[in-house]
Structure 1
Amino acid sequence: MPTWTALTLVPDEARATALGAAMERLSPEPTGIGVFEMEDGSGLWEVGGYFTEAPAPASLALLAAAFDARPFTVSELPETDWVAKVRRELSPVEAGRFFLYGSHDADRVPDGAVALLVDAAMAFGTGHHGTTRGCLVAFDRLLTDGARPTSVADIGCGTAVLAMAAALSLPVTPIASDIDAVAVEVAEANVRLNDLAGRVLCLEAAGFDHPRLAAAAPFGLIFANILKAPLIALAPDMAAHARDGGHVILSGILNPQADEVVSVYGRAGFDLLHRDTLGDWTTLTLTRRA
């Protein structure tokens, strides 16, 4: 069955949210609506609807005018076997010693690699995104340079790829936390898929707000692959939960945003060790000053 998408950009969150709510009353009705802040620093919000029947151009034009949105772009998507497509496009990824693959590529795992299995159905955070791969490259460098943290946290863990990489590389039980309950369920499924049950602790938490995180601090290594705004907001808590001389690996940072994050973390007590750029994204490795 073909699917239509109708996408527009809106100047601010309030109007974007209101437009998303108004789209629910369209006829034909959308099967889904998304409202997302753009990650390019523009301050714009994207509002999109998905339809099994072509939406009426006049109705979309009226909505765009009412909420000061740009004209909708309507596209028809062909019928697609999305799992098969993702499997074709998710070729294995190498990031230093780490090798991320789907089950359809199990025969391609190199000897001696630290292998992480994440299937197509759980593709977010597999390492194909520059932020996840950047974190793995940074972690590989720390290990090569002799870092051996005895406690690890993965804040905003998504699929828990980074926590699993730590569990496979170090004699630790990393804590993988996320504010989203669904992400925690996905993380737990990935942990089981990689035979790491009991070796990674997955929990739901906003930042460091969980007794298990408080009890395990200070951490020798903290991953935080999220976005600039929450990274900046977390800087004081990051400093409070990092061991003196310990490391943090931060990503989800667009290249033009990196200097601001470095500055904020410098004031919080961190020194920059490395800056890795992959495409549009920057990964920062910092150390906590004593």
Structure 2
Amino acid sequence: MASTQTPQTHRATLAIGDEATARRVSDLLTESLDAGEAAVAAFEGPTGRWDVTLHFGDAPVEARIRELVRLAGGDEVARSVKFDVVEAKDWVKATLEDLIPVHAGRFIVHGQHDRAKVAPNKLGIEIEAALAFGTGHHGTTRGCLVLLGHVLKAHRPRRVLDLGTGTGVLAIAAAKALHDSVLASDIDALSVKVAAENARLNGVGPLVEVTWGSGFSAPRLRQRKPFDLLLANILANPLRQMATAMSDHLAGGARVILSGLLSAQAPSVIAAYLARGLVLERRITIDGWSSLLLHKVR
């Protein structure tokens, strides 16, 4: 396994006065930065303020980072971002070792060091430190996992797609719960490799097929459709843009779980899918992020 040790680490730090804003900022950064580009962590300090830290393998574009922070935290928080360079460090592992397991219904996303903490009645999803460029420690993935658990209480989908799989957390969760095959895709070639390796490490490598492709352009998606469960934890704009293509890849009565949406963005995404014959079943909000469960009218 390749080492994540780097000659030097580029870092961005900022302090935020409340947890909700800190989580919005860290979540937007995690969702917006490419896999492997940065490790993002948010922790409460001894004074009650929250510290958000980003570690980069290469020097970041500072204006881009400030703009992402501004979108989620406002102008004052964006101006407070400080950039520096620190000594050589395994920056991905160092960040993940401080993260606690994420509980989302019947699922728990955890690191290797917390493997023993997974209760027998829970489904653990273990993410290796060196293979975790986005671990699900934010409201979008937690929301998707909660909704996935809700769907599986009443339905047993036969064709499942995790679109924009990232580290493969949602595909692994579905494969573990269903004991059946799941198709996962991503536009990022590194994410495809990472998701496949994470599936193998979680004992569902034979069940999770990971393919490369932009949106619905991958040949395997056309071959495997129609899907009766589709998960897409992406961002609002691409979700709106692919509403027609997504509807075309769904079976009648299919369930769709969408996330990556700030709460203010959810209504426009819902409207795009209502116009394509889907109906909203449930909407949940975690740390300022909305996750949606819809189904396609037969």
Q: Tell me the TM-score normalised to structure 2 length.
A: 0.73
Determine the structure 2 residue equivalent to 1:283: 291
Deviations 1:208-259 (A, max 9, x none): 1122111111101000000001000110011001111110000000110000
Q: Does 1:33 align with 2:60?
A: yes
Q: Aligned AA for 1:173?
A: S
Closer, same or farther: CA 74–98 of 1 in aligned 2, 3 Å = closer
In 2, distance between residues paired with 1:183 and 1:110? 29
Determine the structure 2 residue equivalent to 1:62: none
In 2, distance between residues paired with 1:150 and 1:40? 42
Q: Aligned AA for 1:33?
A: P
CA shift, 1:88, in A, is 3.5
Determine the structure 2 residue equivalent to 1:199: 207
Which of 134, 139, 147 is equivalent to 2:143? 134
Determine the structure 1 residue equivalent to 2:241: 233
Contact in 1 for aligned 2:166/2:186 (Cα 8 Å): yes
Determine the structure 2 residue equivalent to 1:55: none
Deviations 1:13-67 (A, max 9, x none): xxxxxxxxxxxxxxxxx9523346738768x9xxxxxxxxxxxxxxxxxxxxxxx
In 2, distance between residues paired with 1:279 and 1:115? 22
Q: How does 1:180-195 map to 2 (within 5 A)?
A: 180-195=188-203
Q: Does 1:248 align with 2:267?
A: no
Moved over 4 A (4+): 1-7, 39-42, 70-74, 77-81
CA shift, 1:119, in A, is 2.0
Determine the structure 2 residue equivalent to 1:91: 100
Contact in 2 for aligned 1:131/1:225 (Cα 8 Å): yes
Residue 268 of structure 1: SS of its match in structure 2?
coil
Contact in 2 for aligned 1:224/1:249 (Cα 8 Å): yes
CA shift, 1:123, in A, is 3.0
Determine the structure 2 residue equivalent to 1:114: 123
Contact in 1 for aligned 2:92/2:133 (Cα 8 Å): no
Per mean C-alpha deviation after superposition, the further-off stretch among 221-230 and 163-172 is 163-172
Q: Aligned AA for 2:170?
A: L
Q: Which runs of 5 or more residues in structure 1 are unaligned?
A: 8-29, 45-69
Which structure: larger Rg? 1
Per mean C-alpha deviation after superposition, the further-off stretch among 91-100 and 32-41 is 32-41
CA shift, 1:95, in A, is 0.8
Closer, same or farther: CA 41–109 of 1 in aligned 2, 3 Å = same
Q: Aligned AA for 1:120?
A: A
CA shift, 1:77, in A, is 5.6
The percent of aligned pairs where both chains have the same amino acid is 41
In 2, distance between residues paired with 1:269 and 1:4? 47
Which of 67, 92, 102 is equivalent to 2:111? 102
CA shift, 1:194, in A, is 1.0
Deviations 1:88-118 (A, max 9, x none): 3221111111111111111111112111110
Residue 162 of structure 2: SS of its match in structure 1?
strand
